Amino acid sequence: MNVTLLGGTGDIGEGLALRWARDTDHTVVVGSRDAQRARDCVAAYERVLADHGADGDLVGCGNEEAAARGDVVVCAVPAYHLTDTIDTVADALDPGDVLVTPAVGMKHDEDGAHYNQPGAGSVTALADRAAPAGVPVVGAFHNLPAAPLADLGFDVDADTPVVGDDESAVETVVDLAEGIEGLGARRAGGLANAAEVEALTALLINLGKHDADLHDVWVRFG
Amino acid sequence: MNVTLLGGTGDIGEGLALRWARDTDHTVVVGSRDAQRARDCVAAYERVLADHGADGDLVGCGNEEAAARGDVVVCAVPAYHLTDTIDTVADALDPGDVLVTPAVGMKHDEDGAHYNQPGAGSVTALADRAAPAGVPVVGAFHNLPAAPLADLGFDVDADTPVVGDDESAVETVVDLAEGIEGLGARRAGGLANAAEVEALTALLINLGKHDADLHDVWVRFG
């Protein structure tokens, strides 16, 4: 399968790319607004993989080509770029492709991070509105700390909640998530339940800021 | 120390009472609007403890007397009774007592549970507004599933986030929480961060409803 990461050159895109490349047989398509930057990133990721005695199947290209090549397309971009990014690649998506959003809207003040809930109910719902017809949207990977995710020397031991209205698309994303060693996918229901998944990210940031024993905070459900 | 549970006759009040009685040296004061009901509950809790080869220091009384006796007073009542309950016992609270709220406002629809955020920002903030001067409010125990908490045969292995603006009160509640075997207390900052803690409860309910491998869902942060 081809897994595309739009915004695969930064934040959690980097960690997802590295881990899918290392832990699965999927082709990881790294997209960027700048195709050369995507290719440079892939070269850097290949060096990281080699440093860890691993390899993977990675390719870099512009966002539109990356979206066209992907069976699953993960929009690993900040919340404020999400709908713009989806609009940009909409024509490149085929019915049956799965669009995945890990984006969370947050505001920060002196107390910590707060979930900035959009009027649509969630950022995931905004992605669903922007997605072309026939392309189901799944919310996942909202709560993964970027730095340790991108550190292949770090062993993940965590869960990620998954929400979506299309059962087959959810199944695909659950399998994709669980392809990452140490990561569990947990079903949290339909897109209407996305707000609480997104809000968890703010809580994890606050725990990392205020609890002396926590820094980059992961979550396990049991 | 005397730990009071207002609404200690139901829901998570039962589990907290049983576990503090079994696992700590605190006197557990079970309060109810009906003092006889509180005494009957204590007798029932003592039988449960004996069935598990344990005992504890428990006493039952009306809510006002229970609040007067408590050094820490946990309002284990539904969100819609929270401020009424605090008003009822306000005169019985002494400056320096700590008021703890585990209440969460939720609405339910066919998709699942959704956090029903009050205009004040959180249910914890509502409790803070209702609390008498000099009585700090701490939010904790929002995310504990009531049934397994009350089952002393079940080994807890979970965390509870704690929020509060008064550091000494937070410290007291962290110690109290960690007195329960298998429960970790994690600091999530001030009362302004309570909404994301409360919202987590809805997510846990949704995971229990939609994930085949989860039922009463606990959380661990790491």
Q: Considering CB atoms only, which of A161, A199, A217 is closest to B221?
A: A217
Question: What ipTM goes with this model?
Answer: 0.95
Q: pLDDT digits over A189-200, tens only?
A: 999 999 999 999
C-alpha to C-alpha distances, B193 to A18, A190, B8, B123, B169, nearest whole angstrom = 33, 26, 26, 11, 16
Whether the predicted pLDDT of A11 surpasses 90: no
Whether the predicted pLDDT of A23 surpasses 90: yes
* Contact between A188 and B196 using a beta-carbon 8 Å cutoff: no
Q: pLDDT digits over A165-183, tens only?
A: 999 999 999 999 999 999 9
The answer to whether B147 contacts chain A (CB < 8 Å) is: no
Residue of A nearest to B217 (CA): A222
**What is the nearest CA distance from A101 to chain B, expressed in angstroms?**
18
Architecture of domain B2-210: 3-Layer(aba) Sandwich (3.40)
Q: Considering CB atoms only, which of B111, B157, B220 is closest to A193?
A: B111
Whether the predicted pLDDT of A155 surpasses 90: yes
**Per residue in A190-209, is it b (16+ CB within 10 Å) or e — as a string?**
bbbbbbbbbbbbbbbbbbbb
A8 — pLDDT class (breaks 50, 70, 90): confident
The answer to whether B155 contacts chain A (CB < 8 Å) is: no
Give the pLDDT of residue B11.
87
In which residue ranges of chain B is pLDDT below 70?
none
**Using CA atoms, how far apart are residues A80 and A103, in angstroms rounded to an integer?**
9
Residue of A nearest to B112 (CA): A193
Give strand pairing partners of A57: A27
* Contact between B200 and A195 using a beta-carbon 8 Å cutoff: no
Give the pLDDT of residue A196.
97
Q: How many CB atoms lie within 10 A of CB B1?
A: 14
Q: Is the pTM of this model over 0.80?
A: yes
Give the pLDDT of residue A61.
97
Average pLDDT over residues A2-17: 93
Average pLDDT over residues A18-35: 97
Q: Which of A63, A24, A61, A70 is nearest to A41 (CA)?
A: A61
**What is the nearest CA distance from B107 to chain A, expressed in angstroms?**
12
Give the pLDDT of residue B8.
82
Average pLDDT over residues A204-209: 98
Give the pLDDT of residue B10.
83
* Contact between A189 and B111 using a beta-carbon 8 Å cutoff: yes
Q: pLDDT digits over A78-107, tens only?
A: 999 999 999 999 999 999 999 999 999 999
Give the pLDDT of residue A135.
98
**Using CA atoms, how far apart are residues B164 and B93, in angstroms rounded to an integer?**
18
